Amino acid sequence: MTWSIKILRAGTMRLDGGGMFGVVPKTMWERLSPPDDHNRILLQTNCLLLEQSGTKVLVEAGCGDKWSEKERGIYAIENRTVVDALQELNVDPSEIDHVVISHLHFDHAGGLTRLNDGNPVCCFPNATLHIQHQEWKDANENRAVMTRTYLPTHLEPVASQVQTHTGCSSVLEGLAVEPAPGHTWGQQSVHIDTADGPVVFPADVVPTINHAPPAFVMAYDIEPYTAMQTKVNVLSRAAEEEWTLALGHEPGPVLVRAESDPERPERRRLTPCP
Ligand SMILES: [Zn+2]
């Protein structure tokens, strides 16, 4: 059994370019990803809609819309959510059976909830939410280098719907999660069987097409060295096992392939799928 995949663009945002590229000098990253006059680079919050025999699965939930004007301004959060993207495909959020979340930072899990008369409620009332046990625990204990990314408003209202996973785990037939530590301790990648071969959502292991080199890891990572090792491992498996990668924050083409770089065989480079 295989899944069909649709890409959902849940809204753009901008984060500090230095934050997104960590120790990489600005003179290198600004050519790849030109910053605006606040030094922020353009990012998308890409989500996936998976369907198989009437079952609907959402991968990631984006930022959502519970933001003040001030917060929206800081991150240039677009006034658009994953629910808008689903409705454009005539899918009602109540039809979603499962949601898989890579990790619980605001730009991945904020869209799990919306405000109803000022109170946060789950956007997907009939869904089971799949998260690593480690991530759920760390998020609820607010163990992060960013102080305002694990927000109670997107955790508490969904607690009763969460099913936690420990390590590599099957979610449904043809759909599995694997630990992808570094950005957070409990981040997971999502592995999907499709008729065209495996598609993997590596989340913030490889946020954009410009994050392929091993050292291009984020200043937001809880363990940068671990993040680097996870990425080297993911990209070498992607090249060897011919995965298609679906990039979570890429504003351009979302689906890419990893290839060996003839000039630097230990590295992989990413190219958009035709
Ligand atoms: Zn992110």
* pLDDT reported for residue 262: 77
Lowest mean pLDDT among 7-11, 60-64, 185-189, 258-262: 258-262
Q: Measure 204 CA to ligand 1 centroid, in angstroms.
A: 6
Q: Measure 89 CA to ligand 1 centroid, in angstroms.
A: 24
Say if residue 148's pLDDT is above 90: no
Q: Measure 271 CA to ligand 1 centroid, in angstroms.
A: 21
Say if residue 113's pLDDT is above 80: yes
> Rounded to an integer, what distance in angstroms lies between the CA atom of residue 273 and that of residue 258?
10
Higher pLDDT, 150 or 176: 176
Task: Tell me the pTM.
Answer: 0.96
Residue 248 β-bridge partners: none
Q: Measure 105 CA to ligand 1 centroid, in angstroms.
A: 7
* pLDDT reported for residue 149: 85
14, 30, 191 from 207: Cα distances, Å: 13, 16, 16
> Rounded to an integer, what distance in angstroms lies between the CA atom of residue 220 and that of residue 146?
7
* pLDDT reported for residue 14: 98
Q: Measure 207 CA to ligand 1 centroid, in angstroms.
A: 7
CATH of 4-196, one of 3.60.15.10, 3.40.640.10, 1.20.1730.10, 3.30.450.40: 3.60.15.10
Mean pLDDT of the chain: 96
Q: Measure 262 CA to ligand 1 centroid, in angstroms.
A: 30
172, 181, 261, 273 from 167: Cα distances, Å: 15, 10, 31, 29
Kindly state the average pLDDT of the residues 144-151. Answer: 83
153 phi, psi to nearest 5 deg: -65, -20
> Rounded to an integer, what distance in angstroms lies between the CA atom of residue 216 and that of residue 214?
6
> Can you give the residue ranges of every domain in the chain?
4-196
Q: Measure 62 CA to ligand 1 centroid, in angstroms.
A: 9
Q: Measure 263 CA to ligand 1 centroid, in angstroms.
A: 30
Q: Measure 177 CA to ligand 1 centroid, in angstroms.
A: 17
Q: Measure 230 CA to ligand 1 centroid, in angstroms.
A: 16
CA–CA–CA angle 16, 211, 199 (5° rounding): 120
